């Protein structure tokens, strides 16, 4: 066990404590000082700001696409569009028209995760209390249902990702710049020069059979909101997949878990976390190596690693399209066609994970303690992943059960914003049920 590292940490915090003039650490107890010292160490000396999420209306501080600057009008429009089932205007089965939305697979009740093993858009029925009972509508041929063989990520904190999806396929800038003309048929928007969230906002409408155009805008009364959000667009281009996508992306950028206890703690409220959660945070930032990959305000990074986790076919999926799965299994390599990227997945944000107990890109764990124990074991579960691809941190860290429980407590409770309802409109202009309009969902959601 690397005792020297612990000793070093204690020494560092004692030295800091003894600098009596340092107001920053003044009234924090010893464990808080340890944590503050580790935060400095892991942020090039920037300190708590490095890990702090901005307010959702602090538009100057939220990371954004220079081609889609944030403003209130766009955010308000995007908030409606993400929850509006009248966007569901391009179904494969006409009888379910206008009964699904982005939020069918990303409902707030589940932390903007799906709430079930595989999110279902068109062809889904029911909701339960947080998406957990949503299942396929058997009137629809299985191969036509909108469902993917990979875990639905949350919309929370996506402002901190330059490219989107587990393989980072969506986005025309940054690390995707060399690949912007790959897949011109499937992802034409990558060639437009927008970042990942903007590309997803447009491409997601095609992928999930939504229709945002002039007819939608006039039928459901969204014209004024589009006019306010996009005054610079010529009227002929103002009501479209493009502007709809930009508004959706603007809204998604404001979805920040900034009321989580860890965030309160960072702002100086040292009572916001329990002692156990603080011990977990210390391990997270130090011996457990989590911070090597999960860092910054959203505890993610724009890198891809293989942790050898199972894919969805090995973990009780409902519906699997083998062709899609074959590409998805390869992770980043399935997009770049570069074998060095094979089986590597993006580093996800770690907030509000307890809302949807399905973990890993293939959903192979149903408890946080389970997946964290797996990650620190260094013992891969998926034999198709060659050892040479595995992340160098994926080794047995020899943590005790107590230490793993402490890390779990930190992730489960300190990274949990319990007030996400603030991000959802109380109603949408169609008057439809939010987020689903199928008969069973209406009953479950109390809409009828
Ligand atoms: C059928 C369910 C479903 C619907 C409907 C749906 N999504 Fe998703 N969403 C997913 C899945 C599954 C992924 C991950 C896919 C992957 O990585 O290959 C995803 C990924 C994303 C991501 C990337 C997040 C990340 O961390 O990389 C964003 C953003 C997103 N969706 C937003 C939306 C928006 C906006 C809409 C509506 C336009 C939408 N989704 C509709 C299932 C859905
Ligand atoms: C080498 C980089 C790396 C390190 C170190 C690392 N992670 Fe991760 N983490 C990832 C990646 C990449 C994924 C997604 C892997 C996948 O699904 O195939 C992930 C997934 C997770 C998930 C599942 C999230 C979800 O949405 O299903 C949790 C929880 C998690 N990590 C917590 C931790 C904790 C706690 C530590 C420290 C003990 C840690 N990670 C260390 C890169 C890392």
pLDDT at position 2 is 37
- Ligand 2 centroid to Cα of residue 62, in Å, is 24
pLDDT at position 448 is 82
∠ CA 375-378-380, nearest 5°, is: 90
pLDDT at position 314 is 74
pLDDT at position 104 is 98
pLDDT at position 313 is 86
In whole angstroms, what is the distance from residue 183 CA to residue 191 CA? Answer: 10
Q: Which of the residues in the chain have pLDDT under 70?
A: 1-28, 315
Supply 191's token pair: 């060639």
Ligand nearest to the CA of 355: 2
pLDDT at position 24 is 42
pLDDT at position 28 is 59
In whole angstroms, what is the distance from residue 172 CA to residue 193 CA? Answer: 5
Q: Best of 153, 158, 160, 423 to mutate for ligand 1, by most ligand atoms within 8 A of CB?
A: 153
- Ligand 1 centroid to Cα of residue 207, in Å, is 9
- Ligand 1 centroid to Cα of residue 33, in Å, is 39
Q: Answer whether 380 contacts ligand 2 (Cβ < 6 A).
A: no
In whole angstroms, what is the distance from residue 174 CA to residue 370 CA? Answer: 34
pLDDT at position 318 is 76
Q: Answer whether 248 contacts ligand 1 (Cβ < 6 A).
A: yes
Atom of ligand 1 nearest to the CA of 148: 12
Ligand 1 atom 20: residue of nearest CA: 165
Ligand nearest to the CA of 253: 1
Cβ atoms of residues 358 and 306 within 8 Å: no
CA pseudo-torsion sign 411, 195, 226, 221:
negative
pLDDT digits (tens, 9 = 90+) for 361-389: 999 999 999 999 999 999 999 999 999 99
What are the residues whose beta carbons fall under 8 Å from the beta carbon of 377, sequence distance 6 or more? 396
Q: Answer whether 199 contacts ligand 1 (Cβ < 6 A).
A: no
What are the residues whose beta carbons fall under 8 Å from the beta carbon of 325, sequence distance 6 or more? 149, 311, 312, 313
Whole-number Cα distances in Å, 134 to 397, 431, 435: 38, 22, 12
């Amino acid at each position: 066990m690397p005792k020297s590292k612990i000793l070093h940490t204690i020494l560092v915090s004692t030295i800091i404590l003894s600098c009596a003039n340092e107001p920053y650490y003044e009234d924090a107890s010893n464990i808080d000082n340890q944590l503050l010292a580790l935060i400095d160490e892991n942020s090039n000396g920037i300190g708590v700001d490095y890990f702090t999420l901005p307010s959702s209306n602090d538009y100057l501080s939220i990371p954004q696409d220079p081609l889609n600057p944030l403003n209130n009008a766009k955010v308000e429009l995007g908030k409606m569009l993400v929850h509006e089932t009248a966007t569901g205007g391009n179904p494969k089965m006409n009888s379910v028209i206008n009964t699904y939305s982005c939020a069918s697979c990303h409902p707030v009740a589940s932390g903007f995760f799906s709430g079930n093993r595989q999110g279902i858009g068109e062809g889904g029925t029911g909701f339960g209390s947080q998406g957990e009972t949503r299942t396929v509508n058997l009137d629809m041929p299985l191969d036509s249902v909108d469902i993917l063989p990979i875990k639905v990520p949350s919309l929370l904190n996506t402002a901190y990702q330059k490219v989107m999806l587990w393989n980072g396929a969506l986005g025309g800038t940054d690390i995707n710049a060399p690949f912007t003309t790959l897949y011109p048929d499937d992802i034409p928007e990558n060639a437009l020069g927008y970042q990942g969230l903007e590309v997803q906002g447009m491409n997601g409408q095609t992928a999930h059979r939504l229709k945002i155009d002039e007819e939608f805008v006039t039928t459901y009364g969204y014209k004024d909101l589009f006019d306010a959000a996009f005054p610079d667009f010529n009227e002929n281009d103002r009501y479209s997949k493009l502007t709809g996508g930009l508004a959706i992306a603007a809204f998604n950028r404001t979805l920040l878990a900034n009321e989580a206890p860890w965030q309160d703690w960072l702002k100086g409220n040292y009572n916001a976390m329990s002692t156990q959660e603080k011990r977990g945070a210390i391990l997270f930032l130090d011996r457990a190596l989590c911070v090597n990959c999960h860092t910054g305000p959203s505890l993610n990074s724009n890198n891809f690693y293989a942790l050898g986790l199972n894919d969805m076919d090995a973990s009780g999926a409902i519906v699997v399209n083998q062709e899609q799965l074959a590409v998805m299994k390869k992770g980043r390599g399935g997009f770049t066609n570069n074998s060095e990227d094979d089986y590597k997945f993006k580093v996800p944000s770690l907030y509000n994970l307890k809302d949807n107990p399905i973990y890993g890109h293939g959903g192979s764990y149903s408890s946080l303690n389970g997946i964290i124990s797996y990650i620190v074991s260094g013992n891969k579960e998926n034999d198709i992943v060659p050892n040479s691809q595995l992340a160098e941190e994926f080794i047995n860290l020899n943590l005790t059960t107590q230490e793993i429980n402490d890390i779990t407590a930190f992730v489960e409770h300190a990274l949990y914003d319990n007030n996400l309802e603030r991000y959802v409109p109380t109603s949408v202009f169609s008057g439809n049920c939010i987020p689903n309009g199928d008969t069973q969902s209406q009953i479950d959601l109390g809409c009828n």
